[in-house]
Amino acid sequence: MTARQFLLRIEQPPREDQICGLFAVAHDCCVEVGAFRRWAAVFVDREAPSMAVAVATAIGDLDAAGLVPIDVGPDEELVTVPLIAMRLECHPRRVSRWASGEGRACGFPDPEAHQGTEPWFRWSEVALWAARRFGITLADPAPVVAAANLALRLRAVAPAVEDVGAIVSLIGHDALGGSPA
Amino acid sequence: MPEAPSCGLPEAFAIAVRSGLRLIDPDERRPWSRLVCTVCGAALDVPSRMDERDDAIMMFRARRVTLFARRHLPGQVHR
């Protein structure tokens, strides 16, 4: 199964009992409260059959912990060799060869930073390289992120909408990937 | 370049502390690790259960710690 990475911004910095509740059900999350408590988010690294399932189950975990997610965001850009290997579904040694001076002739992007001896790369550059070199079409998380954000927004305003079911019915069976009856 | 390098979680915490962040170890009240930026008060809470059978989870946590530490290096605009 593939690991799906993203962040969920939450309405306000969490209380400790809420963090405890979240970690009780989700070991694949980290919680960050930003500088001067101006924002808060849960970073998720979840193995799931699809990005949509990963996002939906993570939102469910936040709900269970009493946290209020307000939007979904893409993962952070910087990635390590092992993470690149996971995403490209190949052995880390292969990525190391591409990333080494020896393999640099293949055009692998330069590291953005180093942590000790470990190089860190920009995922957007690596994905572009992989697409050009191997024709790999990596799943674009943007539509899932957009759909999840619309769902969260609808959930937030639904209590103020009379006959909200009429609005929800606009998302027809066909739009959800079903076949006509 | 080392083969398939992977920064472990303890090493990531150690580097974060050396860069000036404060690490609060788990205790009964707060059974998880917390990294705190002493400049802006930003905090990262990381589940601390070490009995994870999945090495990938530990690698992901190490990455989150490293990225948090990078955002709070001296001289950075803290956000």
* Domain boundaries, given as residue ranges, for chain A: 2-75+141-176, 78-134
Strands A118-122, A78-79: pairing kind: antiparallel
State how far the Cα of A155 lies from the Cα of A150, in Å rounded to an integer.
Answer: 8
pLDDT one-digit tens code per residue, A93-150: 999 999 887 767 889 999 998 887 889 999 999 999 999 999 988 888 999 999 999 9
pLDDT one-digit tens code per residue, A26-75: 999 999 999 999 999 999 999 999 999 999 999 999 999 999 999 999 99
Nearest chain A residue (CA) to B29? A16
State how far the Cα of A36 lies from the Cα of A158, in Å rounded to an integer.
Answer: 32
Residue A181 has what pLDDT? 42
Let me know: does A29 contact A44? Beta carbons within 8 Å. Answer: yes
Whole-structure pTM value = 0.89
Residue B2 has what pLDDT? 33
List B24's β-bridge partners, or say none: B34
The sign one gets for the Cα dihedral B13, B14, B15, B19 is positive
Residue B76 has what pLDDT? 80
Q: Does B41 touch chain A (CB under 8 A)?
A: yes
- Among B2, B36, B41, residue whose Cα is nearest residue B20: B36
* CA diameter of chain A: 64
Residue A103 has what pLDDT? 67
CB-CB neighbors (< 8 A) of B14 in chain A: none
Please give the structure tokens belonging to residue A77.
Answer: 């850009």
Look at B47 and A23 and tell me if their CB atoms are within 8 Å. yes
- Tell which phi-psi region holds residue B8, choosing left (phi > 0), alpha (psi between -120 and 50) or beta: beta
Look at A32 and B42 and tell me if their CB atoms are within 8 Å. yes
Please give the structure tokens belonging to residue A27.
Answer: 């070991």
Residue A160 has what pLDDT? 97
- The burial of A138, by beta-carbon neighbours within 10 Å (0-12 exposed, 13-18 middle, 19 or more buried), is given as middle
The sign one gets for the Cα dihedral B51, B55, B56, B58 is positive
State how far the Cα of A163 lies from the Cα of A176, in Å rounded to an integer.
Answer: 21
Q: What is the mean pLDDT of chain B?
A: 85
ipTM: 0.88
